């Protein structure tokens, strides 16, 4: 195995294997480690036909002293449980979630990017209806799978700003739909607009509230955060967006430095008044957004190149806690 750690992007690489637990007859089994990256799945599995499928995303980091620690895994376990309830999937207990994550990492230690490379081991828990149904109803068997793969930056890298677009002919979620949970189908719904945005030269799509297209919801794979001209941390409140663990953490860091944190409806027009805007999430960390285009309107935000100072400093503190260079005062990191 030879991996060029410095050049890692956000692509899947095969590893030593994944962990698989099966739920049947009302309980989760003890699980097994599976080497090959293929599943044997029933042709009538509900995940395939009716989208009874959800996932999570979290990261493990190698520290300066070589220790590997997970970042906020129990928050992902809780969010996956909330998604599972919405999809009528049996919840994965927190201890089982954490055990499976630890087990797959311990079996793949050589895939954890070394300290200082900027990379991390991305952990992808996946929960699917594996049992057959032909009428629309919940499966009677489920699989909880956890894979890992080493990753670097999701977009160009580090704090390089990207351009975003609003495509008014698309919504990602419905007002009383499933935008607030991490359902696999949400991402399928975002593929067509994502490819259109990419063809038009945008890295990222911003969605507005599906009812009126007046308020900001979130990006296709991340929340939106803004720094107002008077230095407040502003992020949309909406029932249709995913509660981002990264956003939650950054709010804590903003409060820690005495910033005013505002979680509230954000009108699209208000974006014009922000000093800094970014996408935030596990995969994208903090990615500055310096331009948002909607139809003929172009909103330019922050410095033309590079990142604004507030987001830069939140990014530095956040990533320092992740890799153990700053004290974990919030208790966010967990041993493997
Ligand atoms: N919003 C969406 C739609 C996402 O897919 C993600 C990624 O998980 C996020 C927001 C960010 O959430 P988190 O910070 O928990 O990764
Ligand atoms: C994450 O940030 O972990 C995500 O799940 C977003 C995306 C890669 C689907």
Q: What would the pLDDT profile of 186-232 be if each residue is shown by its tens digit?
A: 999 999 999 999 999 999 999 999 999 999 999 999 999 999 999 99
What pLDDT is stored for residue 153 in this prediction? 83
281 lines ligand 2 (CB under 6 A): yes
Distance CA 69, CA 333 (A): 6
Q: Which ligand is nearest to the CA of 241?
A: 1
pLDDT tens-digit readout, 32-45:
999 999 999 999 99
282 lines ligand 2 (CB under 6 A): yes
The CATH number given to whatever domain includes residue 274 is 3.20.10.10
Nearest CA owner, ligand 2 atom 8: 283
Q: Which ligand is nearest to the CA of 284?
A: 2
17 lines ligand 2 (CB under 6 A): no
The parent domain of residue 134 ranges over: 5-151
CA angle 324/105/248 to nearest 5° reads: 50
What pLDDT is stored for residue 158 in this prediction? 75
Nearest-atom index, ligand 2, CA of 284: 2
Same domain, 129 and 216: no
For the residues 310-318, what does the mean pLDDT come to?
97
**DSSP assignments along 133-194, one per residue:** -SSSS--S-EEEEEEEEEE--SSSSTT--EEEEE-TT--SS-TTSSTTTTBHHHHHHTHHHH
217 lines ligand 1 (CB under 6 A): no
Mean of per-residue pLDDT scores for the chain: 97
Q: Which one of 69, 79, 103, 182 is the catalytic residue?
A: 182
**DSSP assignments along 198-221, one per residue:** HHTT-SEEEEEPTTTS-BEEEETT
pLDDT tens-digit readout, 81-102:
999 999 999 999 999 999 999 9
Please indicate, yes or no, if residue 336 is contained in any of the structural domains: no
Let me know: does 9 contact 3? Beta carbons within 8 Å: no
Q: Is the per-residue pLDDT at 1 higher than 90?
A: no
Nearest CA owner, ligand 2 atom 6: 221
Of 53, 203, 281, which is best to mutate to test ligand 2, by the most ligand atoms within 8 angstroms of its C-beta? 281
223 lines ligand 1 (CB under 6 A): yes
**Radius of gyration of the chain, Cα coordinates, nearest whole angstrom:** 20
Q: 89: CA distance to ligand 1 center in Å?
A: 20
Same domain, 192 and 265: yes
Same domain, 57 and 199: no
Let me know: does 323 contact 61? Beta carbons within 8 Å: yes
Q: Is 182 designated active site?
A: yes
- Mark which of 121, 151, 181 sits at the end of a domain: 151
Q: 5: CA distance to ligand 1 center in Å?
A: 24
Same domain, 144 and 239: no
Q: 230: CA distance to ligand 2 center in Å?
A: 31
Same domain, 236 and 297: yes
185 lines ligand 2 (CB under 6 A): no
Determine the 3-state secondary structure of 60 from DSSP.
strand
Number of domains present in the structure of the chain: 2
Same domain, 90 and 191: no
pLDDT tens-digit readout, 156-167:
667 899 999 999
Predicted structure pTM score: 0.97
């Amino acid at each position: 195995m030879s991996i060029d750690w410095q050049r890692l992007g956000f692509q899947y690489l095969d590893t030593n294997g994944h962990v698989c637990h099966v739920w049947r007859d009302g309980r989760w089994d003890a699980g097994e480690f599976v080497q090959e990256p293929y599943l044997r799945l029933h042709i009538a599995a509900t995940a395939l036909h009716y989208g009874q499928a959800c996932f999570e995303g979290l990261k493990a980091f190698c520290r300066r002293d070589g220790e590997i620690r997970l970042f906020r895994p129990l928050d992902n376990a809780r969010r996956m449980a909330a998604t599972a309830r919405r999809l009528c999937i049996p919840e994965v207990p927190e201890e089982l979630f954490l055990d499976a994550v630890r087990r797959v990492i311990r079996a793949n230690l050589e895939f954890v990017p070394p300290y200082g490379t900027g990379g991390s081991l991305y952990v992808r828990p996946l929960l699917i209806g594996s049992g057959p149904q032909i009428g629309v109803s919940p499966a009677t068997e489920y699989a909880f799978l956890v894979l890992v793969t080493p990753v670097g930056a999701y977009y160009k890298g580090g704090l390089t700003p990207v351009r975003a677009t609003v495509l008014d002919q698309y919504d990602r979620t419905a007002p009383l739909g499933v935008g607030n949970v991490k359902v696999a189908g949400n991402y399928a719904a975002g593929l067509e607009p994502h490819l259109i945005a990419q063809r038009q030269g945008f890295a990222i799509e911003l969605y507005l509230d599906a009812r009126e297209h007046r308020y900001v919801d979130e990006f296709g794979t991340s929340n939106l955060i803004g720094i107002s001209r008077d230095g407040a941390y502003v992020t949309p409140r909406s029932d249709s967006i995913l509660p981002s663990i990264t956003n939650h953490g950054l709010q804590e860091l903003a409060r820690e430095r005495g910033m005013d944190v505002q979680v509230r409806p954000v009108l699209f027009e208000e974006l014009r008044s922000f000093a800094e805007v970014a996408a935030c999430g596990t995969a994208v960390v903090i990615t500055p957004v310096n331009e948002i285009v909607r139809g003929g309107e172009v909103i330019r935000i922050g410095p033309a190149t590079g990142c604004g100072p507030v987001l830069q400093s939140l990014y530095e503190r956040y990533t320092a806690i992740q890799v153990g260079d700053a004290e974990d005062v919030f208790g966010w990191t967990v041993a493997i």
